[in-house]
Amino acid sequence: MDATERRDMLKNVQQADFVVVELTLYTNTHPDDQEALTQWRLAIKEAARLRKLYEKHFGPLSLHSIPSEQAIDTGWRWNQAPWPWQM
């Protein structure tokens, strides 16, 4: 996978995670909005799915993720560039 594909897959994760951030902020002040709560439950599943897809190829995004076999095989280490400001 090249840098463009990596960037695209990361963008999918960024988009999905952002939906979760936004719905979390919204439900903080609208705790009884059932539609928003339903959206939040769907959004967090979608974010987890896209995160797993990215991490399978490029290794964990956080230290709470279990490294995939592919990441282990390719010698993934947490302390490995690129960091976000280097991409």
Partner 1 sequence: MWVYEKKLLYPVEVKECNPKLARYIAEQYGGADGELAAALRYMNQRYTVPDKVIGVLNDIATEEFSHLEMLATMIYKLTKDATPEQLEEAGLGAHYVNHGHALFYENAGGVPFTTTYIQAKGDPIADLYEDIAAEEKARATYQWIIDISDDAWINDSLKFLRERENVHSLRFREAVEVLKDERDRKKIF
Out of 5, 25, 38, 52, the only residue in the binding site for partner 1 (CB under 8 A) is 25
Instruction: Of 48, 55, 41, 44, give the one whose Cα is nearest residue 10.
Output: 55
72 binds partner 1 (CB under 8 A): no
Out of 2, 3, 4, 62, the only residue in the binding site for partner 1 (CB under 8 A) is 62
Alpha helices per DSSP H over the chain: 3-29, 34-58, 69-73
Residues 27-46 that bind partner 1 (CB under 8 A): 28-30
Give the three-class secondary structure for 62.
coil
Q: Which residues bind partner 1 (CB under 8 A)?
A: 7, 10-11, 13-14, 17-18, 21-22, 24-26, 28-30, 60-64, 83-85
